[in-house]
């Protein structure tokens, strides 16, 4: 079980995470919502180990290489779209993985771009490629920071379907930061509302969106749904 124990993180004098203590439900998808600056991205960065923090995050028996992270600013390698998905695999394995890569590109409407230099993709295409790159491996933990922020409705739906299929097959623990309350409703098993660097309220989507307990949660949802 992934758990936070008195986790604090700061940027200069600005404390972004403030003595966080909670656990994630294993094998479920948890959406993290909240205002800009509430600590959503910093929470994921702490889990991914890309920033320094005080306190402790307990991963149990999960190894670092069993955690996949998609940062808010997605990137693509300066090579073909197809090669982006197979570059981390040994040459003798690439033929096996090409079939899997092509299937993912088709599911994410990128197959027609498979020979294009990925460095020339649009923002939404780059995000879809970054998600496909994660889906090539079998992770026990997935950390996705605003993974569909640059996408239109159709592309978002494709990505959510691919993520759902991945979760059904491999049952990872997934944490996704999202600005979209509709997305959190659609795909999350649990929702965390971050406010002022702490998880103000944690619950199922039905509880958070239909019967929030915290006044801060109610105020946030009043202006964001």
Q: Distances from the Cα of 174 to the Cαs of 18, 89, 94, 118, 177, in angstroms?
A: 22, 24, 27, 26, 10
The model's pLDDT over 14-49, given as tens digits with 9 standing for 90+, comes to 999 999 999 999 999 999 999 999 999 999 999 999
State pLDDT tens for residues 187-216. 999 999 999 999 999 999 999 999 999 999
- Six-digit token pair at 71? 């940062």
Report the share of the chain in percent with pLDDT over 70.
Answer: 97
Global pTM value: 0.95
pLDDT band for 225, please (50, 70, 90 cuts): confident
Query: Quick one: pLDDT at residue 204?
Result: 98
Specify whether the backbone of 108 is left (phi greater than 0), alpha (psi in -120 to 50) or beta. alpha
d(CA 93, CA 86): 9
């Amino acid at each position: 079980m992934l758990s936070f124990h008195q986790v604090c993180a700061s940027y200069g004098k600005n404390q972004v995470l403030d003595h966080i203590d909670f656990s994630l439900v294993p094998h479920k998808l948890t959406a993290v919502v909240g205002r800009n600056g509430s600590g959503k991205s910093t929470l994921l960065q702490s889990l991914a180990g890309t920033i320094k923090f005080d306190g402790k995050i307990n991963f149990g028996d999960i190894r670092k290489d069993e955690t996949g992270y998609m940062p808010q600013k997605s990137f693509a390698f300066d090579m073909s779209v197809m090669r982006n998905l197979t570059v981390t695999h040994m040459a003798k394995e690439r033929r096996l993985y090409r079939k899997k890569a092509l299937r993912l590109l088709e599911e994410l409407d990128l197959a027609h771009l498979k020979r294009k230099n990925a460095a020339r993709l649009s923002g939404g295409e780059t995000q879809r490629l970054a998600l496909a790159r994660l889906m090539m491996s079998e992770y026990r933990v997935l950390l996705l920071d605003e993974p569909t922020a640059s996408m239109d409705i159709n592309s978002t739906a494709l990505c959510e379907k691919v993520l759902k299929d991945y979760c059904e097959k491999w049952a990872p623990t997934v944490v996704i930061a999202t600005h979209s309350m509709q997305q959190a409703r659609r795909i999350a098993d649990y929702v965390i509302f971050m406010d002022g660097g702490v998880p103000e309220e944690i619950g199922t989507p039905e509880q958070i969106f239909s019967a929030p307990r915290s006044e801060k949660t109610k105020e946030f949802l009043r202006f964001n749904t």
